Structure 1
Amino acid sequence: MSVDDRQDDAAGAHRSSPTGPRVAPPRERSSPFAARPNAPPPQGNAPSPPRAFRFSLWSIIIFVLLLSSVAIQAYRDLSTPGAWDFWRETYIAASMTSAVIPDVDIDGSGRGRRALAISGKIGSASASWLRDRLSEARLKPGDAVLLSSQGGALNQAAIMGEAIRTRGLVTAVATSDASGKLRPAACASACVLVFAGGQTRYGIAGSRLGVHRFTTSAPVSDPLAEAQRIQGMVLGYMTKMGISSGIVEAMSQTSDIRWLSPKEALALNLITRPVDRP
């Protein structure tokens, strides 16, 4: 077979086969606009950024805006009088401490009861703090709250007293050791409002209750009107708790602490059940 015949046979293999005609695939034509490897990008319009990059950029912008709004609101909240104290007591450290006493005999009858002993200054968040401690202590009606405090925030003290009364708890001014033995203590100023919340208010021998005239340290346009408002609030609260209105008169006599004698506290119905021994 000649060279030309072999070339013809090879060319024919692309044109026919036992199963029918077979045509070689057409060669792809090159286009002048086709991209070439390593070719520089066309001049003029810059390439648009990837979609993922655009998405992350918008996420950052939204996050910054949200963070700014939260920071502005937090600044406004903390710039109000007393807001920082409330925030600190709620999230950092409470101004009061507590301890659960499983079995304490308050009146000497031999009947033990569960008690929550609280002490320290009544702060800007003490009412919510007390609610949490009462829930954790699982006190039932007739159980006791033992108090030892120099006073503090008046409005918080009234809310604390309401919480004690709602649960049907009794109060006493005292501290207690782990065995349940009582020790005399002092309860002055706003603490007296917490003590007033007790369904029964025990007067422990040697303990002291101190009252004084309440004032406000916040700037007010009319100090006299503010003093009257505070006096009216205290009077309404004490009356609601079953205490004589004379307690307000005793408070108004001095801006210093006036320690009530057991006889005075009993006459005002501030103490409802005296106890001769601690």
Structure 2
Amino acid sequence: MSADDCQDGAAGVYRSSPTGPRVMPPQAPQGGAPPPEASRRWVGGHPSQGLFRPSFWSVTIFALLLSGIGIRAYRDLSRPDAWDYWRETYVSASMTASVIPAIDIDGSGQSRRALAISGRIGPASAGWFRDQLDKAHLSNGDVVLLSSKGGSMDQAGIMGETIRARGLATAVGTADMSGRVRASSCASACVLVYAGGKPRYGIKGAMLGVHRFTWKEPIDNPVAEAQRMQGMVLGYMTDMGVSSAIVEAMSQTAEIRWLSQQQALAMNLVTTPVDPR
């Protein structure tokens, strides 16, 4: 029998190979294990028409991870300051600001640009304050006018350091757009902002109030925390050139203690008294 007869007799089962003898072409498997693709579980029939069905454990692990993230987020947002920070950052700031093109705060006849800020110092006030300074385009020697009952001590310290880094002066007061300055009040954490100025103008009739700092939330060791905070305030005030006597004045009362101008001068809290008449 010829090779052609053998090929024809087998109904074309064999075919010639370009590099060797005739070989059997690939055929579909008959029975046995299905191909790897068939072992997967698909939703919707054919693999091209459905979605891969995840295993029970993968779903469980994903749910646990998601719940862990949710719990941590809830704990963070459940803190009162977290909601205040979110509101101040994205909704409405707790302080307001206005730019005064020119004021003669010390009666020297030299006009200075000023930024007047007022309101409660909130948990996001430091970032807000930097933005306001950038928009106001204050330069070295310009003035920040303060009018506030206080608020966050940490934010106030950052605001004071920002004032010092930019070479700005501070005063407790307000001003209209004509540049006329009026005395105001600055208490509690606001005093830390005021201390950042160089010089620190003491407008006649302006009020500076200090008191012992307190906490909104309960803490484990109030005595240790009070000592830590007192040390921090002492270090800050010393860096700003204010006498350590101010820390003693703060620690003596939980209520606001308004300093006379003579007391503020003796502590070097006020460096330049002025009478804007």
TM-score by length of 2: 0.76
Which residue of structure 1 lines up, in the alignment, with residue 88 of structure 2? 89
Query: Shift in Å at residue 69 of structure 1?
Result: 8.2
Cα distance in 2 for residues equivalent to 1:75 and 1:249: 40
Q: Which deviates more from structure 2 when the two are superposed, residues 72-81 or residues 185-194? A: 72-81
Deviation at 1:48, TM superposition (A): 1.6
1:196 corresponds in structure 2 to 195
Secondary structure class of the residue paired with 2:170: strand
Measure, in 1, the Cα distance between the counterparts of 2:90 and 2:71. Answer: 19
Paired residues, number? 227
Structure 1 residue ranges without an equivalent (≥5): 1-44, 56-60
Question: How many angstroms does 1:277 deviate by?
Answer: 2.8
Instruction: Tell me the equivalent position of 1:29.
Output: none
The 8 Å contact of residues 211 and 257 in structure 2, kept in 1 or not, is answered as: yes
- Look up the match of 1:245: 244
What's 1:139 paired with? Answer: 138
Alpha-carbon deviation of 1:85? 0.9
Determine the structure 2 residue equivalent to 1:102. Answer: 101
Name the amino acid aligned to 2:207: R
Deviations 1:201-259 (A, max 9, x none): 00001111001111222211111111111111111100000000000111111111111
**Identity rate of aligned residues, in percent?**
65
Q: Could you tell me how far apart the structure 2 residues matched to 1:264 and 1:47 are?
A: 86
Give secondary structure in 1 for the equivalent of 2:96: strand
1:221 and 1:234 mapped to 2: Cα distance? 21
- State the Cα deviation string for residues 98-132 of structure 1 (Å, max 9, x = none): 00011111101111111100000000100111011
TM-score (norm 1): 0.76
**Counterpart Cα distance in 2 of 1:68 and 1:100:** 47
Report the counterpart of residue 117 of structure 2 in structure 1.
118
What is the one-letter code of the residue matched to 2:258?
A: W
**What is the aligned partner in structure 1 of residue 175 from structure 2?**
176
Rg: which structure is higher?
1
Give the aligned partner of residue 8 of structure 2: none
Instruction: Provide the residue aligned with 2:154 in structure 1.
Output: 155
How many angstroms apart in 2 are the aligned matches of 1:88 and 1:68? 25
- Judged with a 3 Å threshold, the aligned counterparts in structure 2 of structure 1 residues 67 and 133 are, in CA distance, closer, same or farther, namely farther
Amino acid at match of 2:243: S
Indicate the residue corresponding to 2:186 in structure 1: 187
Taking a change above 3 Å as real, the CA distance of residues 97 and 70 of structure 1, as seen in their structure-2 partners, is farther
Distance 2:80 2:90 in 1: 17
CA distance in 2, matches of 1:220, 1:196: 28
Per-residue Cα deviation, 1:173-208 (whole angstroms, up to 9, x for no partner): 010001010011000000000000001000001111
Give unmatched runs, 5+ long, in structure 2.
Answer: 1-41, 53-58
Matches within 5 A, 1:200-211: 200-211=199-210
SS in 2 for 1:82: helix
